[in-house]
Amino acid sequence: MLRNNFINNLLNLKDVFVKNIVNGDDFVEFHVETKKKSHVCPSCGSTTSKVHDYRTQKIKD
C-alpha cells in the first residue's frame, strides 16, 4: 500500500490504483485501474454501477 501511494504521488496520478509495474530493457509499463463509479445509461436513463466492458489503453510519452 505504501508503494502504491508513493508511485501515485510521484507520477501525480489521482483516482487510480496501480496494479502492476513491468520493467523492460527500454520501457516501463504501469498497469492501473480506475475506481468504479455510477453512470447513467444512455439508452434508458437509469443509474448503474455495473461494468459493461474492460479495455487496455496504451499511453506513450
CA atoms within 13 A on the CB side of 24: 5
Question: For residue range 1-59, what is the model confidence (pLDDT) as tens digits?
Answer: 446 566 666 667 777 777 888 888 988 888 888 777 888 887 888 888 877 777 777 77
Q: What is the pTM of this model?
A: 0.55
pLDDT of residue 25: 92
Position 6 scores a pLDDT of: 67
The DSSP letter of residue 35 is P
